[in-house]
Structure 1
Amino acid sequence: MADLQDIGAFVAVATHGGFRGAARVTGASASQLSEAVRRLEASLGVRLFNRTTRSVAATDAGQRLLEQLTPALGAIETALDVVNGFRDRPAGRLRLNVPLSASKLVLPRIVPPFLAAYPEICLEVVVEDRFVDLLQSGCDAGIRYEESMEQDMVAIPIGPRRQRMALAASPTYIAHHGRPRHPDDLRKHICIRGRFSSGAMPPWYFEHKGKSVTVEADGPLIVNLGAAADLAVDAAVAGAGLVYLFEEWLQPYIDRGELEPLLERWWPGFSGPSLYYPGRRYLPAPLRAFVDFVQTVRW
């Protein structure tokens, strides 16, 4: 009979599109996973993957095996997690997929007290700005805004219920270039632009008394919003241009006088983020504990 760990390795590789992807999720090395799959193929006497130097794809046999194993392994995981109900405190691993803004503005207020309350839970936070399939990414839950939420997910509020985008510049920049009076004026200013890892470069949006203005910001500096957003703030503080980010992100710099708010009455508001997870009757104990804990935090 095939080893259960080898079966798990096969499912991870098939689900995450290759040995490297599975290694990032499971914590095992790509070579360990490759050896486990070879053992399983030898045990079954059939090839489960077609391998090239650039890709790994399940064969027809591998795809059929994955279809049969996925619900079975899910049932095993659920059965093993039932034991958590007999512990004084839940234990296990919880993996969250969150955008950079949530890691900076939401989780710092939640994670430390949560880990103090549940010391036997290992929390792993994966930060990326693109929307991912939770199951394929190996995550149990995620944080996203309403516009990028999957329809079949359960969502509960997490973090502030209303947020705003803010515009600011340093006193030095304002002294040299002046202060914009209307969003249209931004077309004459140096703007620090942001790009998502998908390649999209979102425009700057403003609204006031039912009127809205969208500005295609322009400037010599472009930063990755998923990894280098702090660079945009640092550059703005140094006088390199105008920065457009979450109000909570810029507020400490405004409070210290390093940045000055601009066009404040035009700052657009939007609904805060949500914690989302698959809508199923049974939740693993670490995820259930996190969901319950999030609902006790007041913003």
Structure 2
Amino acid sequence: MKADLSDLNAFVAVARAGGFREGARASRGSASGLSEAVRRLETQLGVRLLNRTTRSVVLTEAGQGLLGRLGPALAEVEAALDVVNGFRDQPAGSLRLNVPVSASKLVLPAIVPRFLAAYPGIRLEVMAEDSFVDVLAAGCDAGIRYDERLEQDMIAVPIGPRVQRFATAASPAYLDRHGRPEHPSELLGHACLRGQFASGAIMAWEFEHSGEIVRVDPTGPLLVRAGAAVDLAVHAAVAGTGIIYLFEDWLRPYLDSGALEPVLESWWPSFSGPFLYYPGRRLVPAPLRAFIDFIKATASRLRPTGHSSTLSDFQSSASRQASI
């Protein structure tokens, strides 16, 4: 059974975006055109792929199965067609990245403007979220993650600062009222502002000093879902609500201004910086290759050796997604 490739692309666009209007915006088409293409595909296949209501579009079981197989397959088709990009003076096309919110805030701002200026023919699409996704199934070319486990055939390229730290901080006013902890265990007696992963898990706060590792699970008046809501916790800390545990770089402007005061600074744990990762068993699209070369060239000015490895070289039991 043959299906038109454009109809398949239309189905994938609608399914990933969760609606015809959203899919039209993402694919630069029209909602009516996508609707007709999906209807034509369903008629040809003889099965409903999407359940439509006035408010939502939901995949049927058949639609879910088709999307799961189509995503990687269409990505391979795009990669194969992208071979012609190598004959251009400069690569052109779309580059889709899936990144944690922390990377979109702390890593990409120093890279993206210069990259887009160097490659005006590339359109960069960034999906910032803190749940684990299959980058290919999500329609992305690559992702950014810290050193948690991923598939063995993924290729990892260091991106951004190679060493980062988690920091604890509070407003001077809060510390004047409640005291300044001298050991991580004392945090159990303080109001702590916590973060929660999309899975519902709440990561313990980890500290390290002179070889001693201490993990605490404090409580407090505010719990936010990791991601965009983290800034709410930062503002609450500045307002004197409690103590926050977050990437040092995220808190640095407030520490430098004095709005926040370091807490237990000698205990702040360090960890390796993030990696750009992409599948190792497919052609690398020209826009992604340009991005990889760009960050490698940037990194080569900052460190003497080593640019890429398989992710198995960097596996760790601790996730370094945005968390507080």
TM-score (ref. length: structure 2): 0.81
Q: For 2:152 and 2:186, locate their aligned partners in 1 and report how far apart those are by CA, in whole Å.
A: 39
Offset of residue 280 of structure 1: 2.6
Name the counterpart of 1:108: 109
Contact 1:17–1:57 (Cα < 8 Å) also in 2: no
- The CA distance in 2 between the partners of 1:75 and 1:234, in whole Å, is 44
Kindly state the Cα deviation for residue 196 of structure 1 after the two structures are TM-superposed.
1.9
CA deviation digits over 1:167-211, x for unaligned, max 9? Answer: 011111111111001001001111111112222211111111222
Q: Distance in 2 between matches of 1:65 and 1:228?
A: 31
Q: Would the aligned equivalents of 1:19 and 1:34 in 2 still touch at CA under 8 Å?
A: no
| 3-state SS of 1:130 partner | coil
User: 1:257 maps to what in 2?
Assistant: 258
1:241-299 C-alpha deviation (Å, 9 max, x unpaired): 10100111112211111111111111111111100011135211100000100111245
Determine the C-alpha separation between the residues in 2 that align with 1:177 and 1:226: 28
| CA–CA separation in structure 2 for the residues paired with 1:223 and 1:71 | 34
Cα gap change, 1:70 to 1:269, in 2 (>3 Å): closer
Q: Give distance in 2, aligned partners of 1:56 and 1:50.
A: 5
Contact 1:165–1:268 (Cα < 8 Å) also in 2: yes
Within 5 Å, which residues of 2 pair with 1:1-299?
3-12=4-13, 16=16, 19=19, 23=23, 26=27, 32-42=33-43, 44=44, 46-47=46-47, 49=49, 51=51, 55-57=58-60, 59=62, 73-74=74-75, 76-298=77-299
* SS of alignment partner, residue 206 of structure 1: strand
Please provide the CA RMSD for this pair: 2.8
Bigger Cα displacement from structure 2, 1-10 vs 85-94: 1-10
User: 1:32: Cα distance to partner?
Assistant: 4.2
**TM-aligned CA distance change 1:98 to 1:79, over 3 Å:** closer
Identical columns (%):
61
- Contact residue 75 and residue 136 of structure 2 kept, 8 A: no
Check whether the contact 2:68–2:137 (CA below 8 A) recurs between aligned residues.
Answer: no
Residues 50 and 120 (structure 1 numbering): CA distance in 2 closer, same or farther, change over 3 Å?
Answer: closer
Q: CA deviation at 1:231?
A: 1.4
The CA deviation at 1:9 is 2.1
Q: Does structure 2 retain, via aligned residues, the 8 Å contact 1:25–1:137?
A: no
- In 1, the alpha carbon distance for the partners of 2:266 and 2:193 equals 21
**Closer, same or farther in 2 for the Cα pair 1:174/1:35, shift >3 Å?**
same
1:125 is paired with a residue of what secondary structure? strand
Matches of 1:73 and 1:37 in 2, distance apart? 16
Number of residue pairs matched by the alignment = 295
Contact preservation (8 Å) 2:14, 2:22: yes
Q: Bigger CA drift: 171-180 or 80-89?
A: 80-89
- Can you give the 5+ residue segments of structure 1 that lack an aligned partner in the other structure? none
Counterpart CA distance in 1 for 2:167 and 2:22 is 39
Q: Which runs of 5+ in 2 are unaligned?
A: 303-324
SS in 2 for 1:207: strand
Q: Distance in 2 between matches of 1:167 and 1:203?
A: 13
Aligned-partner Cα distance in 2 for 1:204–1:98: 23
Aligned residue number for residue 311 of structure 2: none
- For 2:45 and 2:238, the matched residues in 1 are separated by 63
CA distance in 1 between partners of 2:67 and 2:256 (Å): 58
* Alpha-carbon distance between aligned partners in 1 of 2:72 and 2:130, rounded to the nearest angstrom: 30
CA deviation string 1:141-182 (max 9, x = no partner) = 110011143322110100111111000111111111110010
Separation in 1, partners of 2:188, 2:166:
18
Please state how far the C-alpha of 1:78 moved relative to its aligned partner. Answer: 3.3
* CA gap 1:265/1:63 in 2 versus in 1, 3 angstroms: closer
